[in-house]
C-alpha cells in the first residue's frame, strides 16, 4: 500500500509505547493526539516561555498539504491550557528534518493559578490534515534545514 499521509513514531520514542492518533467518529475532522510522557505545566507568568508537551509523533503528507494542530476544546475551560501559537502548522517538509526528525510538540501556556499535570496518554489536542493553495507568481524554492524556527534561516 502506498503511503500518502499519516503518523509515525519519531526517533527516540520507538520504545515508549506512544499512543497513535485516532478519530473517534466517522465525521471527526481531527485526530486526537496524546502526550508521550508525564509533564507539569506551571501557571503562566509574564516572560515565561510555553511548555512544550511531547507527542512522540511525526507526520508525513504530500507537499501540498499541512497538518494543523489545535487545542482540545475542553482544555482552556477545564485545565486552563491555551496554545501559545493559537494553532500550529506542521509543513510537509518538517517530516524527518535533521534537528528533531519532525517531532510534533504542543506549546501550552497555563492560565490557571495552579500547576496542571499531564499524564502519558492524556489527549492534549487534535491534528487535522489540510490542503493549501499558492499564488500565481509563487517562487518559493527554499529547503528546510531543521525543526522549530528554521524556516527563516
Q: How far apart are CA 82 and CA 91, in angstroms?
A: 22
Query: Does residue 148 contact residue 97 with C-beta atoms inside 8 Å?
Result: no
Q: How far apart are CA 48 and CA 99, in angstroms?
A: 24
Average pLDDT value for the chain: 94
The three cell numbers locating residue 57: 509523533
> Looking at per-residue confidence, does 38 or 152 come out higher?
38
Query: Does residue 90 contact residue 67 with C-beta atoms inside 8 Å?
Result: yes
User: Using alpha carbons only, what angle is made at residue 40 by residues 126 and 83, rounded to the nearest 5 degrees?
Assistant: 35
- pTM equals 0.91
> Looking at per-residue confidence, does 34 or 147 come out higher?
34
Q: How far apart are CA 99 and CA 21, in angstroms?
A: 23
Q: Where are the domains of the chain?
A: 6-131
Amino acid 132: pLDDT = 96
| pLDDT at 111 exceeding the cut of 80 | yes
Q: Report, at the CATH architecture level, how domain 6-131 is classified.
A: Distorted Sandwich (2.70)
Backbone phi and psi for residue 60, each to the nearest 5 degrees, phi listed first: -115, 150
Amino acid at each position: 500500500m502506498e503511503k500518502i499521509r499519516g503518523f509515525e513514531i519519531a526517533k527516540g520514542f520507538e520504545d515508549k509505547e506512544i499512543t497513535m492518533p485516532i478519530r473517534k467518529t466517522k465525521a471527526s475532522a481531527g485526530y486526537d493526539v496524546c502526550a508521550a510522557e508525564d509533564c507539569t505545566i506551571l501557571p503562566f507568568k509574564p516572560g515565561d516561555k510555553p511548555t512544550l508537551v511531547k507527542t512522540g509523533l511525526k507526520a508525513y503528507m504530500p507537499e501540498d498539504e499541512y497538518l494543523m494542530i489545535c487545542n482540545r476544546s475542553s482544555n482552556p475551560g477545564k485545565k486552563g491550557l491555551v496554545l501559545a501559537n493559537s494553532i500550529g502548522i506542521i509543513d510537509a517538509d518538517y517530516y524527518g528534518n535533521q534537528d528533531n526528525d519532525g517531532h510534533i510538540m504542543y506549546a501550552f501556556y497555563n492560565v490557571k493559578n495552579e500547576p496542571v499535570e499531564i499524564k502519558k496518554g492524556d489527549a492534549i489536542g487534535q491534528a487535522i490534515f489540510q490542503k493549501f493553495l499558492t499564488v500565481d507568481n509563487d517562487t518559493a524554492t527554499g529547503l528546510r534545514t531543521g525543526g522549530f524556527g528554521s524556516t527563516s534561516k
